[in-house]
């Protein structure tokens, strides 16, 4: 659906010099934007940059490959893998003390010490927080035809 909406943008209207897009809704760096839109688009990018997250996502992708699981939605599958690994690691350290509040507390405590964090460069969960990663980059395409992006600034948090 998002491919149809972005592809239907048509030519850039006169006077438009900058357009903000959601990277998540547009397909990240693979957004199907026409070359004239790519030249002026800045995307809100809530993940680590592609070159930086390659190492973070390599382990789950290798796990999928070894088990012949097709990768059809990389970000969603990497997130599911990360969630399962975090839960598994936490339960393994609970030593038969299976209480909901203790589980959440152990996840909060252990999350900030994780080395592999998937798509998220800063992954923590504080008390009474329901989102483990807040913030992102503003990115621009490096050229009109490729899918390389560069950050306009640093990681920004609300």
> pLDDT grade, residue 3 (50/70/90)?
low
The rounded distance, in Å, linking the Cα atoms of 63 and 122 is 23
101 pLDDT tier (thresholds 50, 70, 90): confident
Query: Is residue 137's pLDDT more than 90?
Result: yes
Confidence (pTM):
0.80
Beta bridge partners of 43: 21, 139
Give the tens place of pLDDT for each residue, 4-60. Answer: 577 677 888 888 888 898 888 888 888 888 888 888 889 999 999 998 888 889 999
DSSP per residue over 14-65, as a string?
TT---EEEEHHHHTGGG----HHHHTTEEEEE-S--HHHHHHHHHHHHHHHH
Residue 55 tokens, joined: 């190492």
Q: 2-6, 7-11, 130-134, 142-146 — which is least confidently predicted?
A: 2-6
Please list, residue by residue across 62-94, b when 16 or more beta carbons sit within 10 angstroms of its beta carbon and e when fewer do: eebeeeeeeeeeeeebbbebbeebbeeebeeee
What is the reported pLDDT for 130?
67
């Amino acid at each position: 659906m998002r491919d149809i909406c972005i592809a239907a943008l048509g030519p850039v209207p006169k006077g438009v010099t900058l357009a903000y897009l959601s990277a998540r809704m547009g397909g990240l760096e693979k957004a199907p934007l026409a070359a004239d839109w790519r030249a002026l688009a800045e995307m809100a990018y809530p993940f680590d940059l592609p070159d930086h997250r390659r190492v973070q996502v390599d382990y789950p992708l290798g796990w999928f490959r070894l088990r012949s699981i097709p990768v059809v939605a990389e970000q969603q599958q990497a997130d599911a893998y990360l969630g399962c690994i975090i839960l598994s690691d936490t339960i393994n350290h609970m030593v038969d003390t299976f209480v909901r509040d203790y589980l959440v507390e152990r996840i909060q405590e252990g999350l900030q010490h994780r080395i592999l964090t998937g798509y998220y460069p800063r992954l923590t969960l504080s008390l009474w927080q329901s989102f483990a990663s807040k913030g992102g980059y503003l990115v621009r395409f490096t050229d009109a035809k490729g899918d390389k992006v560069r950050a306009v600034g640093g990681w920004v948090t609300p």
